[in-house]
Amino acid sequence: MVAEPKFHHRASLKQTNKPFKRRFATKNSMRDKAKGRTQRVSLKGKVLRKHSRADRRNAVRTEQRKKRDHIVMSTRIFTGRHRAPKIVAVIPLCADINASDIVRNLFACVDEPYPEEKAPKTTRMLNVTRFKQTIQFVEVERNLLDILDAAKVADYVIMGISAEIEVDAFGEHCLSALQNQGHPGVFPIVQGMETVVPKRQNDVKKSLQSFMSHFFPEADKVYTTETPAEALAILRMITAQAPKGVKWREIRPYMLADSVEFEPSVEDPSVGRLALTGYLRGANLSANRLVHIPNFGDYQIEQIYHVPVAVEAARGDGIEEDDEPVVLDKPDAEHQDSLVEANEPNTLNNEQTWPEDEEMNDWNVRMQEMEEKESRMAANKGQRTITVPKGTSTYQASWIAATEGDDNESDDSDASSDADEDMDSGSGIGSDEEEDDGDEEEYEEMVVGADGKIVSASDDEDNDDGNSDKDEGLPSAEEEALQLKVYLKERERQNRDDLNFPDEVDTPMEISARERFARFRGLQSFRTSPWDPYENLPLDYARIFQFESFKRTQQRVLRMAADSAAKSGMRIRIILRAAPAQIAASYNPSRPFVAFGLMQHEHQMSVVHFTIMRSEGYSEPVRSKDPLVAHFGFRRYNVQPLFSQHSLGGSNTNGVHKFERFLKPGVVSVGTIYAPIQFGTVPVSLYLPTPVAANDMTDNQTGVIPTLVGTGSSLEVNPSRILAKRIILTGAPFKIHKRSAVIRYMFFSPEDVIWFKPVQLHTKYGRIGHIFESLGTHGYMKCVFDGPLNQMDTVCMNLYKRVYPKWNTSLWSEHAQGEEQKLQWVGPVALKSDAMEL
């Protein structure tokens, strides 16, 4: 009997465990898995390999050799028979500090006679035979411009501080200015330490060292020159160290002039040839480039001579040249930089089409209207009507008329549009906001002539007596103080409104919104929405210069300067052509006279941007287009900058930046002006145009010190940067039904609602919506949002308009005219036009 096989039911659920996964596989297992296949791996970049001990030692020696060569190259100009001196500026920070006493002690420690008092303070050479170095001391008085100019060309700065008197406000202002400008090595020297009790001398030194380290952290010690050993230690450090370079000045040539000579021209004695003699520092100089003299402008070079002086010949009171001057370089007529700073726009280059009959008829009608308007203006002699508070004097009304005229020039739109913009920013006289005292102010109208003077007024009580001399005279002290108080109070209110309600404006009821805001546009995204930077540019943009690649141009210009004939460290004589006689007349041997060489294209105008942050010591509001004095590197300008937000650009940005009406405290902003091109990053300082005198803020030279508004640095030269002025129209919810709501008080006509229908809406609580339709005849509109609306919410609409700077940049000059005006602004065009004629 055959046995039956046993039945086995196969399990339907079979457990399969995961195989063990090793994180790192062995080479043999990877080779077996590949089964002979090979994969090519591309080696990109640097090949990583293991460095041996010998390789690491060789890398360290190579780095040491590079540093040693750099030090040798930086100090090579200070060695040899025709060596250049190290420039040391001596700056007194206290009123009782005498810079000559500090220099006299340094001369005495090496047994050298101190030069006579009649010798120029900027050419006092000290030949230290022991250290084989030559030092040129520049003794400056307590004048801010002299201190800044001396620090711009100095290799070391000696700060004179007193052991008895604290550093005053002027001294602290000089320290802040030097800190922002960029400074070389600093040596604080204390005078009057022998008058302090010996037990307290260490405490005084520690206190002064703590004060100086606040401004200059690298100055970890204070020095004295009371004994020859201490003075000799200072000379040893100055001669042994390599000067600390200031990057913004090292890329360009500069000179501290030892002598200035002028030869008048035969045709016009007011201009002629100007000779500047001194040691060239920084980069090399070419005769094809221009030379900038602060306060006077840019000039062309006629010739460059090499006038070397041996150390033995320079020991006496006078400087004797060894040989006849040798011509180093002459300009090439084809490659020499021109004095033309701006292009001449040709308005005929615009697109021209043949007009049709309708256009000709419209043109005839417009011509008739223009002729009638001109005849009316000729009859009225350019008179216009302004509204001023009742009781305003004619002098104050003339000032208000001039201010309104400047505001009108800041925009291309008509006068009514400019007046509305002033009201938008809170500066309008007819603002609906309540005054601080709660009283309603009455207004009257006055007629202003073409010359800006008041012709007549509605209230003729002051003019009945016919005393015109009284109207044209200056106000009394009480009236002037009251006018200044009102002016400052109005500016403070504008600044406060801008901080509390930024960019919010009210839609005017007497004019339609589509006409009032015709130049504004809506953006779905301020950061990414496209905006053509070359759309509807003003005529001033046809005068500027623009580079296809600013960085490449800067690199090419720097490489070009390295091949110049006049090398750094040479004692040269620069002959400038067509220079005004005013330069030689203003030369004072006791004050530093500096000159800077320009690189190619640095004379041409463009749109320049710079970062600026308001100074903590200045609390008054600073508005865009306010007149300021800009210390822009080695240049000084009279500017009226536009402020905007400082936002970093990227691939997803459109180059649009928000315009700021005021310079906000504690925030870095960007200023925009028309100015000459300047390569590299240079420091920027903004000052008020009129210095303010105070009892504790005096200067021995001028009696006043300028008020620092803000500090920063140059940013870029980019005409394509868009400054967008934003206004916010607000409305209030009237009825709310879920996601839809009826909004009122944003517009007052259905035509305006339809006109602005495509613009996106948003609320202060974060809702996004759009206009659905217009309701009624009073500007009510139905809007739909992305969520329920709160009854306490406010509906906003953002509109933007591009703004441009004004062509008002001019060269600043320190020459005073009269007692009332301490500063004089001299335009560079007049000087350059005279130079071009010759």
Q: Are 271 and 265 in contact (CB under 8 A)?
A: yes
Helix (H) or strand (E) holding 811: strand 810-813
Give me the pLDDT at residue 353, please.
60
pLDDT on residue 425: 42
**Which of 229, 245, 261 is the endpoint of a domain?**
245
Task: Please check whether residues 424 and 392 belong to one and the same domain.
Answer: yes
Extract the tokens encoding 797.
């609409």
pLDDT value, residue 119: 60
Q: How far apart are CA 554 and CA 286, in angstroms?
A: 17
649: its two tokens: 């650009």
Place of tokens 């002025």: 725
Question: For the chain, what is the domain count?
Answer: 3
Q: Is residue 263 part of a domain?
A: yes
Same domain for 170 and 261, yes or no, is: no
DSSP assigned state of 297 = E
Element (H, E) at 837: helix 828-837
**Distance separating alpha carbons of residues 803 and 798, to the nearest angstrom:** 16
Containing domain of residue 382, as a range? 371-428+442-479
Same domain? For 185 and 154 the reply is: yes
- Six token digits for residue 190: 């204390």
Is 423 found in the same domain as 279? no
Stated pTM of the model: 0.73
pLDDT of residue 402: 53
State both tokens at 544: 């500027």
pLDDT at residue 504, as a whole number: 86
The two tokens of residue 772 are: 């659905």
Task: Determine the pLDDT at residue 644.
Answer: 93
β partners of residue 37: none
311 shares a domain with 235: no
Strand order in the sheet with 384-389: 384-389, 443-448, 454-457
Q: Is 327 contained in some domain? A: yes
Phi, psi dihedral angles at 486 (to 5 degrees): -65, -40
Q: How far apart are CA 455 and CA 438, in angstroms?
A: 32
Would residue 415 count as lying in a domain? yes
pLDDT of residue 318: 47
**pLDDT, position 771:** 94
Give the pLDDT of residue 505: 86
Residues 317 and 384 both lie in one domain: no
Please state, in angstroms and rounded to a whole number, the distance separating the CA atoms of residues 642 and 640.
7
Torsion, Cα 368 370 372 374, to 10 degrees, reads -150
Of 220, 89, 237, 107, the C-alpha closest to 159 is 89
Q: What pLDDT, on the 0 to 100 scale, is given for residue 42?
A: 60
Q: Which residues of the chain have pLDDT under 70?
A: 1-13, 19-25, 39-50, 117-120, 310-324, 348-356, 377-475, 497-500, 649-652, 691-704, 815-838
Residue at 287 is within a domain: yes
113 and 135: one domain?
Answer: yes
Q: What is the pLDDT of residue 671?
A: 95
Is 494 among the domain residues? no
Q: Are residues 306 and 386 in the same domain?
A: no
CATH number at residue 160: 3.40.50.300
> Residue 405: how many CA atoms within 13 Å on its side-chain side?
16
Amino acid 355: pLDDT: 66
Residues 259 and 235 in one domain: no
Provide the pLDDT for residue 371: 80
Q: Are residues 178 and 119 in the same domain?
A: yes
d(CA 329, CA 335): 13
Q: Residue 380 has what pLDDT?
A: 62
- Three-state secondary structure of 706-734: CCEEEEEEEEEECCCCEEEEEEEEEEEEE
- Bridge pairing between strands 86-92 and 156-162: parallel
CA angle 326, 329, 334 (to 5 degrees): 155
| H/E segment holding residue 832 | helix 828-837
Alpha helices in 473-605 (DSSP H): 477-500, 513-516, 550-561, 581-586
Q: How far apart are CA 84 and CA 78, in angstroms?
A: 5
Same domain, 122 and 184: yes
| Alpha helices per DSSP H over 47-168 | 53-75, 99-108, 144-153
Torsions phi, psi for 29 (to 5 deg): -65, -40
End position of a domain, from candidates 197, 222, 245: 245
Domain assignment present for residue 285? The answer is: yes
Tell me whether residue 147 is in a domain. yes
* CA 600 – CA 305 distance, rounded (Å): 21
Structure tokens at 491: 């500016």
Question: 20 in a domain, yes or no?
Answer: no
Question: Contact 632/567 with Cβ under 8 angstroms?
Answer: no
Choose the final residue of a domain: 197, 221, 245: 245
Judge if 105 and 201 occupy the same domain: yes
Other CB atoms closer than 10 Å to residue 84's CB: what's the count? 21
* Whether the Cβ atoms of residue 630 and residue 643 lie closer than 8 Å to each other: no
